[in-house]
């Protein structure tokens, strides 16, 4: 139930590991937020429900993380916490309740342009889920 940043020549690369796929995705969202704002605590003033779909675990993770960038760009919403997350592993559908705040109250440390499929994977080995993501900054 952690995430760690890895060396990458030009972009930001991280891996998340957890006992469940849901917590692995939550750790990826935390790493994305940390990339954008560093270790700044974001207030929990706004609550939203999101639904994303994919064709496999990688596209589901991509769409999940991309949703936060869309919310950032279109609604100036910053993620603080994922209150609830459910993943339908057979149909690659994700529902989550998220908490956050407006961007005007914070200073950004990195401009994340996009989530990429470069070097991305989501895999289960024994009882652990591991995901790797590269962010274009």
Residue 64 belongs to a domain with what CATH number?
3.55.10.10
Q: What is the pLDDT of residues 73-87, one digit of tens each?
A: 999 999 999 999 999
CA 60 to CA 37: how far, in whole Å? 24
Which residue range(s) make up the domain with 71?
A: 2-136
Token pair 């919310």 in the structure block, residue = 71
Q: What is the pLDDT of residues 50-67, one digit of tens each?
A: 999 999 999 999 999 999
- How confident is the model over 20-24, as a mean pLDDT? 98
Number of domains in the chain: 1
- The verdict on pTM exceeding 0.75 is yes
Tokens of 49: 């429900």
């Amino acid at each position: 139930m952690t995430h760690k940043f890895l060396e990458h020549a030009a972009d930001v690369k991280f891996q998340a590991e957890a006992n469940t796929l849901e917590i692995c995705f939550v750790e990826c969202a935390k790493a994305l937020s940390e990339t954008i704002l560093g270790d700044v605590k974001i207030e929990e003033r706004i609550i939203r429900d999101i639904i994303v779909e994919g064709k496999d675990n990688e596209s589901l993770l991509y769409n999940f993380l991309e949703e936060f960038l869309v919310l950032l760009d279109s609604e100036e919403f910053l993620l603080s916490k994922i209150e609830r997350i459910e993943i339908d592993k057979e149909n690659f559908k994700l529902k989550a309740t998220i908490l956050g705040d407006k961007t005007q109250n914070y200073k950004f440390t990195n401009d994340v342009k996009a989530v990429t499929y470069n070097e991305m994977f989501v895999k289960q080995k024994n009882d652990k889920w591991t995901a790797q993501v590269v962010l274009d900054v």
